[in-house]
Amino acid sequence: MSATAESVQDRKAALKGLGTSRKRVEDARFTQGKGNYVDDIKLPDMLFGDFVRSQYAHARVKSIDTTAAMELPGVVAVLTAKELEPLNLHWMPTLAGDKQMVLADGKVLFQGQEVAFVIAEDRYIAADAVDLVKVEYEELPVLVDPFKAELPDAPVLREDIADQKEGAHGARRHPNHIFTWEQGDKGATEAIINEAEVVAEEMVYYHRTHPCPMETCGSVASMDKVNGKLTLWGTFQAPHVVRTVASLLSGIAEHNIRVVSPDIGGGFGNKVGVYPGYVCSIVASIVTGKPVKWVEDRMENLSATAFARDYWMKGKIAATSEGKILGLWCHTTADHGAFDACADPTKYPAGFMNICTGSYDIPTAYLAVDGIYTNKAPGGVAYRCSFRVTEAAYFIERMIEVLAIKLNMDAAELRAKNFIRKDQFPYQSALGWEYDSGDYHTAWDKALEAVGYKKLREEQAQQVEDFKAGKTRKLMGIGLCHFTEIVGAGPVKNCDILGMGMFDSCEIRIHPTGSALARLGTISQGQGHATTFAQILATEIGISADEITIEEGDTDTAPYGLGTYGSRSTPVAGAATAMAGRKIRAKAQMIAAYLLEVHDNDIEWEVDRFVVKGAPERFKTMKEIAYASYNQAIPGVEPGLEAVSYYDPPNMTYPFGAYVCVMDIDVDTGVSDIRQFYALDDCGTRINPMIIEGQVHGGLTEALAIALGQEIAYDELGNIKTGTLMDFFIPTSWETPNYQTDFTETPSPHHPIGAKGVGESPNVGGVPAFSNAINDAFRAFGLTHTHMPHDHWRVWKTANDLGLHG
Amino acid sequence: MITGSFDYHQPGTLQEAVALLAKLGDGARVLAGGHSLIPTMKLRLAMPEHLIDLQAVRELKKIQVTGAEVCIGAMTTQAELIASDELHRAAPIVRETSLQIADPQVRYLGTIGGNVANGDPGNDMPALMQCLDATFVLSGPDGERSVQAREFYEAAYFTARDDLEILTEIRFAATSGGYAYEKQKRKIGDYATAAAAVLLGKGADGSCEQASIALTNLADTPLYCEAASAQLVENGLTEPSVDAAVASAMSQIDPVDDNRGPAEFKRHVAAIILRRAIQQAWARA
Ligand SMILES: Cc1cc2nc3c(=O)[nH]c(=O)nc-3n(C[C@H](O)[C@H](O)[C@H](O)COP(=O)(O)OP(=O)(O)OC[C@H]3O[C@@H](n4cnc5c(N)ncnc54)[C@H](O)[C@@H]3O)c2cc1C
């Protein structure tokens, strides 16, 4: 008996399924430089494209002279809006229902905007030719401050839609106004705020930043004029959507387009959108009949393809004098830049900002978001977050701290007092979401216990005394955060992008010898899908993860799916994988019963086989079943063992976590030093603990970057000030602290395996934890809030403004 | 981020290199580690027609310590400066400074000659060299000459070096006493928000026998703080004396607003960093 029990354990371990810290199968090729990225694609006769970009933030384009460029040997063509117009490709639709210039059509609206596309025999000639294109500009007044967009003297940016009173998301009240999005109960919320015993108010700015993946964006388009087929390789987080959009835009039938996302060197939302470079490489290939490659450089990436955040969130939070929160009010001014190119589900122009009630049971709430045009790059992408969840989490986690100050209460205690209780799930939030599951108090207590919270506060109080007594010039900050995410978009009934429902898919083939191939509609950019999806499947179908190949990213082979962003792969495609696996198992059960000569109901699943109930020595392994499925005539059962699942999730998933950051701050120099960072994540069922830990480390490091310095800044003329990695902060191992990771496990009740997704949690929860630590350090000296990024000089300024420099 | 086109030359001796530079003239630039020059070329802020790579000029790669005299070849990399125990014994401030430059990858290629010849006020070596009172040896069509580091820097990217000269060697006396190079920066790979190089000699009676202070990135050239140094020698390391030295050094600085912060912030940080460098050097003296 014990021998069998042991062998069940052994067989289970051999599968390397759910819960195994299986090594990443991708890493063998990545660590040997054998990855295959877009820029590795080399085709015969391939040409190279490069952009002439605007140096002005707002200017009229008077003329473009391409003569000198065309005369340079090796230059094949120069495209301007004039060449694209007959194809109706000088503008393109954005994912947010707006449109964007592919190449400057009469004017430019941000520095770095694409003006002309030079096509040459090699990229060096292309770069030289860019310098030879002469563009004559007439400068226009520049609008960089969204709060000045509707002043009487504000320049009108989008003359193309200046008279349109109705936008993609309702009424527009001004030519520079894009939309107003309202959620919740305005009247009731304002009434509560007017009457409450305590109201805390703050303007919380989440500054503009950029996902800045290691690999920049690029594409290779190859139009085969003989068979009419277009192949497009590119840095696409959603290759299937790109195929559909490319078909709709170009008029090429969808079956004649093949889109391939090869290895992708990080996406973080930067590679969801459609960029002028993609369109130009396609047009250039159609025009020249040759493959055309376009790959942007780092400065182009930072200044033109996507930005993230840039939300001015004005908040009011009402509570009783005991600290029970009664209502939350938020008005956000969203700086969208020159075109509204946010990658949000269509019905959510401000993404899931309405998750801003966070982890708290707030009975009444109201949110309004105004989208505004400015002379900055378009984007508004979800930088390692699910559609503005990170803005929402930052907002509420700052507001809680501000309220704690107002109440003169401990911020950890205030949180615990207001958490949604375990027994309240599924929980209906005031702003319209149904939280699936959670156990916030348990996670919170565990976190506070792990860091020795009480002791830390005592130490901090002592340090404040010492500082006041002139014994030290350092202060200590304790940054708390309890975040709740909303990920896994999403139910087709309310989630679509450009009309395409946000389901996802998995297709499985079991080979006769019992190994398998599974293809998904998603695409890994470093998340380790080839490792983890095989693990989900291993547990479902009893074939070792090592014998399952995962493929994604080629639209000719993979099933249609909406791609990878917003932590949706595990919640949606992961669910499809489990469901397809269950279809395989259901068929396998019929085959096994036939082979074992018993009724279907007389056998049961055990790790990797079907066993006759009560007769453990009689069984058929999945491998045996697979072989039989192809090679044995089974009455009433089709040959083969394959399954497809298109999964439309019934709800989003709601991962959560409790983070604590302890920082020491040098008041005289503004330098902060992270002493400790504790991160507890609850992502439901854990598929691969090692990968979770890796994702948490990576996400926290991005969060650290954002909170402490990473920004896209413009001067008053709209010049980008942080366009290189000298000024745009990417932490090295030196700036990265040790992270202490931990977990609780509260499965999602509606997901087939209970998994919620984790890739983005650390960015969402990390930013408030770091920022709260900085803010908290100065609480004893009267600070309520100071804006990110908390780089040296801003921290120094905070101290200086508080009079701490004597 | 693609450079303009240029011709590449790789002379094998200093003589050849000097002759090439003389022949090619204005359109030519010397290439050392390339970690200042090539980024500038990629931004097309510099578009030399010729690059004369000094990589193969073996005679420019050396670290010699002879008695109390240190001589470093221009093509010695920052990594080599860090690795040399002999140099560390002779002048430990060099390793301390080099370790605060950029990151290991940059330091494997970046050279001391390129760093001091570049003329970028952000470079760390120029202030160090002024602190050490180093001598730069230049070789040109008219032969060899020497310029003191304290006389070398005229304005950002303008130095006493003639366009047709190659910097070949850096010489300075071995140090004794306490030393410190303090640098505030935003991250690894960043130039200084403010940095200070300090050498202090302590007498048996606790007096300050010798002092040398220089600052990085606080004006359009490195700053040798002669008066501040003299102040410490005269009045020792008492609190009022250090205050006076710092105040004197601060009267020399002229920082500019940039992404590291406004000048006001840099002034404050510069004083803090200098004070810390003085304290550290004195503690080690
Ligand atoms: C990411 C990054 C971070 C950095 N951070 C720092 C830092 O923190 N501190 C710091 O000091 N530096 C920093 N640097 C610069 C680095 O130290 C450079 O290597 C150094 O400034 C120049 O040395 P080089 O050998 O690379 O010179 P090159 O780039 O080859 O040359 C620089 C200039 O000097 C001239 N030149 C070079 N050698 C000679 C010679 N022998 N005679 C005459 N002229 C010559 C060249 O013509 C050119 O004009 C950084 C560089 C990078 C890329």
Q: Of A131, A729, A792, which is closest to B193 when you measure between CB atoms?
A: A792
Q: Which atom of ligand 1 approaches the CA of B165 most closely? A: 43
Q: Flag whether residue B47 sits within 8 Å of chain A, measured between CB atoms.
A: no
**Confidence at residue A256, expressed as pLDDT on a 0 to 100 scale:** 98
Interchain CB distance below 8 Å, A791 and B2: no
Please compute the mean of the pLDDT values over residues B231-251 and round it to a whole number.
Answer: 98
Q: pLDDT (tens digit, 9 = 90+) per residue, B157-188?
A: 999 999 999 999 999 999 999 999 999 999 99
Q: Flag whether residue B244 sits within 8 Å of chain A, measured between CB atoms.
A: no
**Confidence at residue A154, expressed as pLDDT on a 0 to 100 scale:** 97
Contacts of A732 in chain B (CB under 8 A): 103, 187-189
Exposed e or buried b for every residue in A462-478, given b needs 16+ CB within 10 A?
ebbeebeeeebbbbbbb
Catalytic annotation on A388? Answer: no
Q: pLDDT (tens digit, 9 = 90+) per residue, A784-793?
A: 999 999 999 9
Give the pLDDT band (50/70/90) at residue A2. very low
For B45, the 3-state DSSP assignment is coil
**Confidence at residue A1, expressed as pLDDT on a 0 to 100 scale:** 43
Catalytic annotation on A100? Answer: no
Please compute the mean of the pLDDT values over residues A46-66 and round it to a whole number.
Answer: 98
Q: How far apart are CA A645 and CA A23, in angstroms?
A: 27
Give the pLDDT band (50/70/90) at residue A722. very high
Q: Flag whether residue B219 sits within 8 Å of chain A, measured between CB atoms.
A: no
Q: pLDDT (tens digit, 9 = 90+) per residue, A276-324?
A: 999 999 999 999 999 999 999 999 999 999 999 999 999 999 999 999 9
Q: Which of A724, A792, A797 to mutate to test the interface with B (most CBs of B within 10 A)?
A: A792
Task: Answer whether residue B101 shows pLDDT above 80.
Answer: yes
Q: Which atom of ligand 1 approaches the CA of B46 most closely? A: 49
Pick the CATH number of A38-140+216-264+271-304 from 2.70.70.10, 1.20.1260.10, 2.70.98.10, 3.90.1170.50: 3.90.1170.50
Q: Which CATH class is domain A307-489+652-801?
A: alpha beta
Interchain CB distance below 8 Å, A793 and B188: no
Contacts of A727 in chain B (CB under 8 A): 259
Task: Answer whether residue A498 shows pLDDT above 90.
Answer: no
Q: pLDDT (tens digit, 9 = 90+) per residue, A432-487?
A: 999 999 999 999 999 999 999 999 999 999 999 999 999 999 999 999 999 999 99
Interchain CB distance below 8 Å, B5 and A124: yes
Q: Of B1, B190, B273, which is closest to A298 when you measure between CB atoms?
A: B1
Instruction: Give burial (CB, 10 Å; 0-12/13-18/19+) of A773.
Output: buried
Q: Flag whether residue B269 sits within 8 Å of chain A, measured between CB atoms.
A: yes
What is the token pair recorded at A535? Answer: 């693990």
Question: Domains (ranges, CATH) in chain B?
Answer: 7-52 (3.30.43.10), 61-173 (3.30.465.10), 178-284 (3.30.390.50)
Distance B227 CA to ligand 1 centre (A): 30
**Confidence at residue B134, expressed as pLDDT on a 0 to 100 scale:** 98
Please compute the mean of the pLDDT values over residues B234-238 and round it to a whole number.
Answer: 97
Exposed e or buried b for every residue in A150-169, given b needs 16+ CB within 10 A?
eeeebeebbeebeeeeebbb
Interchain CB distance below 8 Å, A127 and B2: yes
Which residues, listed in sequence order, are joined to residue A679 by a DSSP beta bridge?
Answer: A659, A741
Contacts of A797 in chain B (CB under 8 A): 265
Task: Answer whether residue A358 shows pLDDT above 60.
Answer: yes
Q: How far apart are CA B110 and CA B170, in angstroms?
A: 15
Q: Of A297, A298, A729, which is closest to B186 when you measure between CB atoms?
A: A729
Q: How far apart are CA A566 and CA A585, in angstroms?
A: 30
Q: Which CATH class is domain A3-35+504-647?
A: alpha beta
Q: How far apart are CA A204 and CA A282, in angstroms?
A: 42
Residue B134 · residue B80 · CB < 8 Å: no
Give the pLDDT band (50/70/90) at residue A567. confident
Average pLDDT, chain A: 96
Kind of pairing, strands B63-66 and B69-73? antiparallel
Q: Flag whether residue B260 sits within 8 Å of chain A, measured between CB atoms.
A: yes
Asked if the domains A38-140+216-264+271-304 and A307-489+652-801 are classified in one and the same CATH topology, the answer is no
Nearest to A515 by CA among A687, A645, A644, A641: A641
Amino acid B108 reads Y
Task: Answer whether residue A249 shows pLDDT above 90.
Answer: no
Domain boundaries, chain A: 3-35+504-647, 38-140+216-264+271-304, 307-489+652-801
- Please give, rounded to a whole number of angstroms, the shortest distance from the CA of A712 to a CA of chain B: 11
**Residue B113 belongs to what H/E stretch?**
helix B112-118
Please compute the mean of the pLDDT values over residues A392-421 and round it to a whole number.
Answer: 98
Distances (CA, A) of A244 to A203, A240, A247, A502: 41, 6, 5, 14
What is the token pair recorded at B54? Answer: 């000094």
**Confidence at residue A566, expressed as pLDDT on a 0 to 100 scale:** 86
Task: Answer whether residue A5 shows pLDDT above 90.
Answer: no
Contacts of A671 in chain B (CB under 8 A): 184
What is the token pair recorded at A372? Answer: 């505004």
Residue B96 · residue B21 · CB < 8 Å: no
Q: In angstroms, how far is CA A792 from the centroid of its own chain? A: 28
Catalytic annotation on A385? Answer: yes
For CA atoms A464, A470, A472, A475, the dihedral sign is positive
Residues in the ligand 1 pocket, defined by CB under 6 Å: B 29-37, 39, 54, 74, 101-102, 106, 109-111, 113-115, 117-118, 123-125, 166-167, 189, 191
Q: Which of B5, B41, B259 to mutate to test the interface with A (most CBs of A within 10 A)?
A: B259
